[in-house]
Amino acid sequence: MTHGKLGETARARIVLEDGTIFYGRSFGAEGSSFGEIVFNTSLTGYQEILTDPSYAGQVVVLTASQVGNYGVSFEDDESERAWLSGLIVREHSRITSNFRSEKGLDAWLKERGIVAIDDVDTRALTRRIRDHGEQRVLLTTVSDASDEELVAQVRASTGLVGHDWISEVTRSQVGVWTPGYESSFAPRTLLDHEHQEPKAASLRVTAIDCGIKRNILRSLVQAGFSVHVVPARISPADILALEPHGLFLSNGPGDPAAAPWLVETVRELVLEHQLPTFGICLGHQILAQVFGAKTYKMAFGHHGGNHPVRDCRTGRIAITSQNHSFAVDEASLPSSVEVSHRNLNDGTIEGIRHRELSAWSIQHHPEAAPGPHDSLHHFAEWRSMLEALVAQTAAD
């Protein structure tokens, strides 16, 4: 099945492993790039998506009708580089109109070697992914290979399942993160109703970098934490040497079941040393495995800023930012763990809590970069929990 026609102005191809071919127009870098295709329904925030390490190994289809119209502001980078394998949009805006813009999206992608394609029927492509699932894909601006040859190349490529992407995106050294919401456009949040000044940093947390976003670190500082950021391949002893009050498990890319080494590290810290722990996204999936649960590959995942999530304790519904292709298998959860949040679109698990240990996690991104700010209160909630634990320890 083909969509479009390969010609002078449409000289780029999107080749799916099921044999479907989409034709489009190249912008960004020239060349070829393999990955696993996903669609994201966010209307804004393409720069945060492009610099989110959770997209490593993936080609992203943005369902917004036009992308690039407000350019690029380096203040909005969520990491030091672009991590995704490729970008597909309906229309790339050749005009940039935003006083914060420092560069056009086309030039930004070229500098970072990211292959991008526009003039594509992204509605048809998104429907294809919804009906047939996320699959391997090739983006190419090379015209000297046949469609059949390219399909064969895609089918010989690797996918996300079983691939340890965490080791490829994590930092190499321990560091300290100090900035809070430094931007003049930072949200007024539940962390501080009256001001955007961070609370006094009286609690120490160690954040394991599985592909952590800068706005997560800003949110932790804003909530009043002193933050050490550590590589994912750090030993439990080295984490304990930092004497943290709590452990934070970050977002990240790929298959959570492909990192048993990280599960073992967290298991020792949570189960043996009973270090209070909070995980998000991939960190949620890692913590679930620590408790004995399993994860599975979803048909087309959750990627976007419009997912409704219900807090099972309060009944409160939040619109959340999400980016994951794997989920926790509810049937595998032990009785010691309760489901705390649930996705209202498909009923999947959005949060868990251990009934005895101070360990909990959520599947969505509370820092919301990009996305709504409905879930920012989770950082303040964790601070309150740790303050209570510290006070109880002092009293004992």
- Residues annotated as catalytic are 281, 365, 367
Token pair 């043996």 in the structure block, residue: 272
Neighbours of 93 (CB within 10 A): 17
Judge if the upstream peptide bond of residue 308 is cis by omega within 30 degrees of 0. Answer: no
Query: In whole angstroms, what is the distance from residue 169 CA to residue 211 CA?
Result: 6
Rounded to whole angstroms, what are the CA distances from 129 to 9, 17, 136, 249? 25, 11, 11, 30
SS3 assignment for 123-177: HHHHHHHHHHCCCEEEEECCCCCCHHHHHHHHHCCCCCCCCCCHHHHCCCCCEEE
Query: In whole angstroms, what is the distance from residue 53 CA to residue 214 CA?
Result: 10
Pairing of strands 32-40, 136-140: antiparallel
Pairing of strands 12-16, 136-140: antiparallel
